[in-house]
Amino acid sequence: MSKKEKSKKASDFPFDLEKLFNPNYFSQLPKWQQEIVSFYTRRLNSYSKIPDQLAECRDPSDVFELQSKFFTELISDYRNEATVVSALLFDISRPIVEKKQQSTEANTGLAKDQARTMTEAAEARTESMVSGKKTSSKVA
């Protein structure tokens, strides 16, 4: 297969990974994965403490208090982790978003230029036609 054919075949692939992902993208993913593993480790430690804490309960109100504390902590942990993971993913994807935004702005500028050129051409044709009619009516 020639270089030209290989190039054509590569461009036929629906995703150009070099355009889609910043080279730093994959190097940043371990940070995200480490955070997730760390979070699950913290949560598992919290779960593992429950049997001992339940054994210390002396009446149903102690169990209710332990359960309330556990669920409050659970919701807080997941909320905080969602914030942390979202920030990490945003940092990872920021270069991709910025690159896409720059491309969109460039395309918008090009479209505006083309629209301006078409409008000017149409106005020139209209003016030319109007001028031609005035000239022909004066002659007639």
97 DSSP 8-state letter:
H
User: Helix-strand-coil percent breakdown of the chain, rounded to 5?
Assistant: 90, 0, 10
Chain segment 102-128, per-residue pLDDT in tens: 666 666 766 777 777 878 788 788 777
Question: Is the full-model pTM beyond 0.85?
Answer: no
List the structure tokens of 41: 């480790």
Share above pLDDT 70 across residues of the chain, in percent, rounded to a whole number: 63
Chain segment 21-36, per-residue pLDDT in tens: 656 667 777 888 899 9
Task: Indicate the domain borders of the chain.
Answer: 26-125
